[in-house]
Chains A and B, each alone.
Chain A
Amino acid sequence: MARSRRLRLEGYLRSLFVYAYSLSQSREDAADLVQDCALRALSARHAPDDEAAYRAWLFRVVRHLHIDSRRRATREVRRDRAASLGREEANLRLRDESIVNAITVQRGLEKLKPAQREVIALVDMAGFSYEEAAAVLDVPAGTLMSRLHRARRCLLAIVSQDNVYVLEPHRNRRPG
């Protein structure tokens, strides 16, 4: 029983980590969120039998754990520096599609509002359908679609504004 639970859960750890990272913007916090979620899932008395419902349930657990941890935090790091960029969407005109690459996407995601980053993580990175993502976020599908298309436009606007990409200074981590 315990083994089958672990096997079932293991298949979702990676996508849960991606989602947790989109929420926390920290690898360590994301790993903590996923492991807390795993502990909760492994010890839960009742988990959904249906696979799609089970996946959505896991993502909701991560989401609620993140919300709880933010409430507990004594200091909240605000990462919505690009909030004002959303107002510039209407004037979006991109010079060249080549500006969209992995580096700019990563940097752009960091600048998105948390709610925008979350919907992109669910649909574009974890592969949820509109309906599945809406269920995780507990919003109507129409709201999800509007939020998604605004988030993508905002991300495109952000990456179109950078001409150079500065790699941040090395802090504490070094390769192996």
Chain B
Amino acid sequence: MTDNTYWRDLNGYVDGRLDPADASALAERAAREPEVARDIAMLWRLKASLAEHGKTLEAEAPDLPHEAAPSTAPDARRRLSVLSSVALVAGALLLWGLWSDPGQGGLGASGSGWVQAAAEAHRTLSADSLPAMPAGSFLADSVRLEGMVAPDLGAGGLSLAGAQPLRLKGLESPALHLIYRGARGCLVSLAAGPAKAMGTLPAGQSGEVWRSGDLGYLLIAPAMDPERFAALAEATRTIIARAGREDRTTTEKLARSHAESGPCRNV
């Protein structure tokens, strides 16, 4: 089977377009060969992510024009579309319960900084109640921070599972709280926000806090084995500092610390 034929069959399989005999043969092959199973899982995940992204975009669709007359001014329509986008963002933040609401997630503690708010948000996390993972366009449009790096921690067995803005009274730009989940259920929070408004971790709370340019970062995973957390913190700082340049050493360290550690205590 050529590479092209292989991928054509995989696509047909995930789209339900293979005939039953070919689908059955491919399923049997996937059961025998982990690489085939992995490629199929990857395509499923890609399709699911695309569908999710489509749903997010759909929410920004404009309303029908009030009249069918083709005299609607393009500029007016453009303004309407911008307004609907703004409303969408505000609506999504309200849904998250984090829009300037001091009663939610401990975010009203003016002066205590977003690091404390992020630590409190992590404390209330559970595997069943992660904030919804918005599509990248939403993140980019609503809470993006200049220079912010959201690292891929996949080598450490962690994948991005949720994201939410952290708003504090008096803080012009929101901090961003990313939640990573491990294959064994471990929850890790990475938060970033303006360095000048970081504040400090609450007494007795462990975590890695550092600055990179105008941004501050917090990495927190109190349930994680301390040695693994130290390796994770070092890798995260390195990846962020290198801002995208390939670093095989860091990736290998991350993978090794994951392989040699036990599951988190929150599992």
> Is chain B found bound to chain A in the same assembly?
yes
A14 close to B (CB within 8 Å): yes
Cβ of A115 to closest chain B Cβ, rounded Å = 16
Report yes or no: A103 in contact with B58, Cβ–Cβ below 8 A.
no
Which residues of B lie under 8 Å from residue A9 when comparing CB positions?
A: 64
Greatest chain B CB density within 10 A among A43, A98, A125 is at: A98
Cβ of B234 to closest chain A Cβ, rounded Å = 15
Majority secondary structure of chain A interface residues (helix, strand, loop or mixed): helix
Q: Given A167-B145, A175-B90, are A28 and B82 also a contact pair (CB < 8 Å)?
A: yes
Report yes or no: A149 in contact with B243, Cβ–Cβ below 8 A.
no
Among A10, A28, A94, A149, the residue within 8 A (CB) of B64 is: A10
Report yes or no: A39 in contact with B152, Cβ–Cβ below 8 A.
no
Q: Chain A 101-115, CB within 8 Å of chain B: the 1/0 string?
A: 111111101000000
Which residues of B lie under 8 Å from residue A83 when comparing CB positions?
A: none
Report the interface size for chain A: residues with CB under 8 A from the other chain: 66
Greatest chain B CB density within 10 A among A10, A90, A124, A156 is at: A124
Which segment of A29-37, A47-55, A71-79 sits at the interface?
Answer: A29-37
Majority secondary structure of chain B interface residues (helix, strand, loop or mixed): helix
Q: Chain B 44-70, CB within 8 Å of chain A: the 1/0 string?
A: 011101111110111111111100111
| Measured CA separation A168–B152 after assembly (Å) | 16
Report yes or no: B78 in contact with A28, Cβ–Cβ below 8 A.
yes
| Measured CA separation A105–B160 after assembly (Å) | 13
Which of chain A's residues has its CB closest to B144's CB?
Answer: A167
Report yes or no: A98 in contact with B159, Cβ–Cβ below 8 A.
yes
Among B17, B136, B142, the residue within 8 A (CB) of A103 is: B136
Task: Give me the 10 closest cross-chain CB pairs, A-B, nearest first.
Answer: A176-B90, A106-B136, A125-B54, A98-B159, A31-B81, A17-B61, A14-B58, A42-B68, A103-B136, A124-B50
Instruction: List 13 extra interface pairs beyond A96-B159, A101-B133, CB under 8 A.
Output: A14-B59, A14-B61, A17-B62, A18-B58, A94-B38, A125-B53, A145-B8, A149-B7, A149-B11, A163-B152, A165-B152, A167-B150, A173-B82
* Residues of chain A whose beta carbon lies under 8 Å from any beta carbon of chain B: 2, 6, 9-10, 13-18, 21, 27-28, 31-32, 34-35, 38-39, 42-43, 90, 94-107, 109, 120-121, 123-127, 130, 145-146, 148-149, 152-153, 155-156, 162-170, 173-176
